[in-house]
């Protein structure tokens, strides 16, 4: 019986974490990670504050868990659908298009989660900034690796410098996301898609 009771508590705890993080990524993408609090999320979800606190223990852990949850969602939506594709130009194009779709479709209500929350912590050293920086480096690093693979396969010319080209692609994506939110112009994503296509075509062998 004790084992059954323990299993039940673990299950309820996991369910609480999932519910809280589902709400937390929505709130943070619109209002920032600083807007998260155990009390607010408990109220939003009709949960006990003590139950939410037991699931996370501190506001910082809640924020870090929210970043990790957002990374899992990003992976599932943007990267996983193309994971089995061979590295190269086709996969690079597909991932860029996938990112544009993720931001355009508002997978997170505030647009790209990571762009929304990063400004809060750009100048605040600590574990949250480290987690956000890791996410940014991993995404850009994936694009860099794909540019290198495309060059090695002869799909892109040697002039396609991996770090520089990845920087240009990320800049087009993030500019479209920011301007679509600020100006309420979803067509900015069409411009980004066109810029990405023309940039990659210009370097294609």
pLDDT digits 0-9 by tens, 49-67? 998 888 898 999 999 999 9
Per the structure, how many domains does the chain have?
1
At residue 47, what are phi and psi to the nearest 5 degrees?
A: -110, 165
Of the pLDDT bands very low, low, confident and very high (cuts 50, 70, 90), residue 205 is confident
The percent of residues above 70 in pLDDT, for the chain, comes to 95
Q: What is the mean pLDDT of residues 74-102?
A: 98
189 or 53: which leads in pLDDT = 189
Q: What is the CATH number of the domain that holds 45?
A: 1.10.357.10
136-154 per-residue burial string, b: 16 or more CB within 10 A, e: under 16 = eeebeebbbebbbbbbeee
What is the model's pLDDT at position 11?
A: 74
Q: What is the pLDDT of residue 51?
A: 87
Q: What is the pLDDT of residue 75?
A: 98
104: its two tokens: 């355009």
Higher per-residue pLDDT: 172 or 6: 172
Alpha carbon distance 163, 93 (integer Å): 16
CA dist 143 and 91 (Å) reads: 9
**13 vs 86, which has greater pLDDT?**
86
**Mean per-residue pLDDT over the chain, rounded:** 94
Distance CA(198)–CA(125), nearest Å, equals 37
Q: What sign does the CA torsion over 68, 70, 73, 77 have?
A: negative
Q: Is the pLDDT of residue 202 over 80?
A: yes
Contact 91, 82 (CB under 8 A): yes
Rg (C-alpha) for the chain, rounded Å, is: 20
Angle at 191 between CA 190 and CA 196, to 5 degrees: 100
Report the DSSP beta bridge partners of residue 204. Answer: 156
- Asked if 191 and 176 touch (Cβ cutoff 8 Å), the reply is yes
Q: Please name which of 77, 62, 78, 79 lies closest in space to residue 27, comparing C-alpha atoms.
A: 62
C-alpha angle 154-155-159 in degrees, rounded to nearest 5: 80
Q: What is the pTM of this model?
A: 0.92
Per the structure, the complete domain to which residue 136 belongs is given by 2-203
Give the Cα separation of 166 and 146 in Å (integer).
9
**Alpha carbon 17 to its chain's center:** 19
């Amino acid at each position: 019986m004790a084992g059954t009771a323990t299993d039940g508590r673990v299950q309820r705890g996991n369910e609480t974490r999932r519910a809280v993080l589902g709400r937390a990524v929505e709130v943070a993408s619109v209002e920032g990670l600083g807007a998260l609090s155990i009390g607010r999320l408990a109220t939003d979800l009709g949960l006990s504050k003590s139950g939410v606190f037991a699931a996370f223990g501190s506001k910082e852990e809640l924020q870090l868990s929210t970043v990790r949850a957002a990374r899992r969602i990003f992976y599932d939506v943007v990267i996983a659908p193309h994971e089995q594709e061979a590295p190269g130009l086709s996969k690079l194009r597909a991932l860029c298009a996938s990112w544009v779709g993720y931001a355009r479709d508002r997978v997170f209500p505030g647009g790209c989660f990571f762009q929304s929350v990063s400004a809060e912590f750009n100048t605040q050293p600590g574990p949250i900034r480290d987690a956000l920086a890791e996410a940014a480096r991993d995404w850009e690093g994936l694009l860099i690796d794909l540019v290198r693979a495309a060059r090695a396969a002869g799909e892109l010319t040697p002039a396609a410098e991996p770090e520089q080209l990845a920087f240009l692609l990320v800049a087009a994506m993030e500019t479209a996301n920011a301007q679509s939110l600020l100006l309420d112009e979803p067509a900015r994503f069409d411009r980004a898609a066109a810029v990405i296509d023309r940039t990659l075509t210009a370097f294609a062998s």
